[in-house]
Every structure is written in structure tokens, then in C-alpha cells.
Amino acid sequence: MTLAAMVGVCLVMLALALDGQAGLLTQAVVAALVLCIALVGRRFFMATTETLELTRAELRLASGRRLCALAEIEKVQRGAFGFQPSNGFVLHLTASAPSEWQLGLWWRLGRRLGVGGATSPAQNKAMAEALRLLLAEARGELDGLTR
């Protein structure tokens, strides 16, 4: 059971326990909170059913929507002290784009694209390293290494 579902159940129990003691306004506020938590929980669940795909040309969603082309990426930022999603990474892009957000999966603010949140830390690390290798290869920085 997710945290949102547990909080929703607790709020429903609270609303039922209030009876007539607290009044209709309090019960309406609790019911509105339950509805908001249910909507956020559903949106979070739907967002985490999406899959990110990395190709040699772009980073995209499984639905085909392109998040960014590899040619647009300046650098990949990982680390403990950066502004990034939980267990994720940030891509610094060459051009700014409209702000967008898919709960628990990715977000975009200006020239930054953050990936992570509800995704697996191991998969995020592997994707960040794969992006670094693809960028180094595209820039010719791997020419001296064996493949």
C-alpha cells in the first residue's frame, strides 16, 4: 500500500470518527484532503508506469516523446550536493525549453533536465554513465581508448 493510500485511509477514518462533534465544515475539509491525496496518488502511479529510453540520438519516453537530443546535452551532473531529483541526475542543455514536470520521473526547468525521483538509483546511475560515454564518444574523446 502506498503512503498516499495509507494517509487517505487514515483521513477517511478520521472523518467517520468525527461524527457530529466537529461539524460539517471539518468533515468537508477532511473529505477534500482525501480527494486531493487520491488524485496525487493516481497521478504518481500513472507517471511511474512510463519508461525512459536512451538511444544514440536522444533521450525519450517509451511513448515516443523526445525529452532531448544527445547533441543538445552540454554535461551530465551527478553528485550528493547538486540540485537534482532524488537518486537521479541533471542534464545541462544548450537551449532553454518550456518548464515541464512528470511526477516522479523527470522535470525540465529552463536549460536543465532532471531525471529521477521514483526511479531505481542503480538504473539512474547506469543511464548517467551511459550518457557520459555517448557524449564522450560523440565528441571524439574516446578515440585513444580501445572499444
Q: With CA atoms as reference, report the closest residue to 55 among 65, 73, 74, 69.
A: 69
pLDDT at 146 over 90: no
How far apart (Å, rounded) are the C-alpha atoms in residues 145 and 69? 25
Residue type, 23: G
Q: Which residue has the higher pLDDT, 120 or 147?
A: 120
pLDDT at 131 over 80: yes
Give tens-digit pLDDT for 6-42. 777 777 777 777 666 667 777 778 778 888 888 877 7
Give residue limits of the domains in the chain.
3-47, 52-138
Give rounded-to-5 percent helix, strand, coil for the chain: 40, 25, 30
How far apart (Å, rounded) are the C-alpha atoms in residues 127 and 53? 9
Q: With CA atoms as reference, report the closest residue to 85 among 69, 104, 98, 102.
A: 104
* pLDDT given for residue 112 in this prediction: 94
| pTM given for the model | 0.69
